[in-house]
């Protein structure tokens, strides 16, 4: 190939000729010390987004009917000195060994991020049907116990660039935890927004953080909470379900809607949002799906291909493929446990499964990919893990 030097003047040619000497001089003058590789930016990034944090239970507080709040501090002996900052609404994924199984479960951080600056997180955990890890925490975990958690994850948080300042939060049962964190952050001056929480539960006893919310309501006009009881009557609370009129009561000119609760709540709210002509772009969902068909109780073989091995275990129709792998000590990749992050994505080699439609990305559909954390067996199944 011929070099086209047209357009280059004599000065350019001389400058080009000097490049070699200049380069030599720079190399000659530079320090002989090893190249610096630990940059402050990397250090800050790993403090903000650690892959793993070792924590110790410092305190356990009763948090209502069958629920406890666990105050966590860094487990310095295992190497964690500082807990990462988080945004209200984010979760951490706990990894814990229970008998022969290694389990990972996401739990929303239930305090204000200000606590993280004081090196503390709180997780509020409620006993659940079939909840191996939740029930283990309620019954067995004690002060001084240690375990590991991920860095803060998830994008169920208020984002000023995207969200309106008037937030209507709709919570069902233990789906209240992201909103107590947001409310605490408003009280601490970390979040600048107006938060109305429409909080549904079966009975009065099921409301978590009731007294704390009442305290906040008295102290700040920015926090409002309405309690809706579905299975109990009490003149101090709204009976029945969240209605269109109740949502309308708290709507401003611009609003964002945050939803967290069981599947039934999502289904009901979707109908109401359509009636209110609220576009999807203003609605944010977390996922606390209680989608197990409790009427089925069958067991199938689940064969897992991983790392050149083939392992067959039993999987019940009431549990996800991921949950039965964990119970049998198969450490499958996972993070969110609600079909959203894609960490557990695996190939379905054969068999029939029930997976929730919204658990797959568009690009994954029709390619025999599944998210085992949101998939239940309907026959003997063979899957291949990503590694």
Q: How far is the CB of 137 from ligand FES (least distance, A)?
A: 19
Count of residues engaged in binding ligand FES, rule: CB under 6 A: 12
105 sits near ligand FES (criterion: CB under 6 A): no
Q: Work out the number of other CB atoms within 10 angstroms of the CB of residue 376.
A: 24
Can you name the residues that pair with 69 across neighbouring β-strands? 61, 124
153 sits near ligand FES (criterion: CB under 6 A): no
Measure the CA–CA gap between 246 and 241, rounded to whole angstroms. 10
344 sits near ligand FES (criterion: CB under 6 A): yes
Cβ proximity to ligand FES: between 339 and 377 the closer is 339
Is residue 93 a contact partner of residue 102, using CB atoms and an 8 Å limit?
no
DSSP for 48-110?
Answer: HS-S-EEEEEEEEEE-STTEEEEEEEE-GGGT--SPPP--TT-EEEEEEEETTEEEEEEEEB-
Is residue 316 a contact partner of residue 328, using CB atoms and an 8 Å limit?
no
Cβ proximity to ligand FES: between 339 and 351 the closer is 339
Cβ proximity to ligand FES: between 177 and 334 the closer is 334
228 sits near ligand FES (criterion: CB under 6 A): no
Q: Work out the number of other CB atoms within 10 angstroms of the CB of residue 67.
A: 20
Is residue 312 a contact partner of residue 299, using CB atoms and an 8 Å limit?
no
Residues 301-340 touching ligand FES, rule: CB under 6 A, are 334-337, 339-340
Cβ proximity to ligand FES: between 188 and 384 the closer is 384
Cβ proximity to ligand FES: between 283 and 370 the closer is 370
Tracing tokens 């964990």 back to the chain, one arrives at 326
371 sits near ligand FES (criterion: CB under 6 A): yes
| Token digits of residue 160 | 């000023």
Residues 246-305 touching ligand FES, rule: CB under 6 A, are none
CA 79 centroid distance within chain:
24
342 sits near ligand FES (criterion: CB under 6 A): yes
343 sits near ligand FES (criterion: CB under 6 A): yes
| Token digits of residue 218 | 């008295």
Q: How far is the CB of 321 from ligand FES (least distance, A)?
A: 10
Cβ proximity to ligand FES: between 78 and 328 the closer is 328
Measure the CA–CA gap between 364 and 361, rounded to whole angstroms. 5
Q: How far is the CB of 69 from ligand FES (least distance, A)?
A: 25
Cβ proximity to ligand FES: between 187 and 355 the closer is 355
Q: Where along the sequence are the contacts to ligand FES (CB under 6 A)? A: 334-337, 339-344, 371, 373
């Amino acid at each position: 190939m011929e070099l086209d030097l047209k357009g280059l003047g004599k000065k350019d040619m001389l400058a080009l000729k000097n490049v070699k000497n200049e380069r030599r001089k720079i190399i000659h003058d530079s320090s002989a010390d090893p190249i610096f590789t630990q940059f402050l930016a990397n250090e800050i990034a790993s403090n903000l987004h650690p892959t793993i944090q070792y924590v110790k239970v410092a305190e356990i507080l009763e948090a209502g009917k069958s629920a406890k709040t666990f105050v966590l501090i860094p487990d310095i002996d295992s190497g964690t000195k500082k807990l990462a900052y988080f945004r209200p609404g984010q979760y951490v994924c706990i990894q814990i060994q229970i008998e022969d199984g290694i389990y990972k479960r996401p739990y929303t951080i239930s305090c204000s991020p200000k606590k993280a600056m004081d090196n503390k997180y709180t997780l509020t955990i409620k006993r659940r049907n079939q909840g191996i890890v939740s029930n283990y925490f309620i019954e067995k975990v004690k002060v001084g116990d240690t375990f590991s958690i991920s860095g803060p994850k998830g994008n169920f948080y208020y984002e000023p660039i995207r969200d309106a300042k008037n937030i209507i939060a709709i919570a069902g049962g233990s789906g209240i935890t992201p909103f107590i964190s947001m409310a605490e952050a408003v009280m601490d001056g970390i979040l600048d927004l107006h938060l109305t929480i429409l909080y549904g539960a079966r009975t009065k006893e099921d409301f978590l953080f009731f007294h704390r919310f009442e305290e906040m309501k008295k102290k700040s006009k920015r926090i409002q909470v309405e309690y809706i009881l579905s299975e109990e009557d009490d003149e101090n609370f709204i009976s029945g379900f969240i209605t269109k009129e109740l949502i309308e009561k708290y709507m401003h000119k611009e609003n964002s809607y945050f939803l967290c609760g069981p599947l039934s709540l999502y289904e009901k709210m979707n109908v109401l949002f359509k009636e209110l002509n609220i576009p999807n772009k203003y609605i944010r969902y977390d996922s606390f799906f209680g989608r197990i068909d409790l009427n089925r109780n069958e067991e199938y073989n689940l064969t897992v291909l991983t790392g050149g091995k083939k392992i067959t275990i039993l999987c019940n129709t009431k549990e996800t493929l991921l949950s039965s792998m964990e119970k049998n000590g198969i450490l499958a990749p996972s993070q969110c446990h609600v079909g959203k992050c894609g960490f557990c994505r695996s190939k379905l080699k054969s068999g029939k499964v029930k997976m929730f439609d919204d658990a797959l990305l568009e690009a994954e559909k029709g390619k025999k990919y599944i998210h085992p954390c949101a998939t239940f067996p309907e026959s003997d199944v063979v899957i291949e893990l990503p590694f």
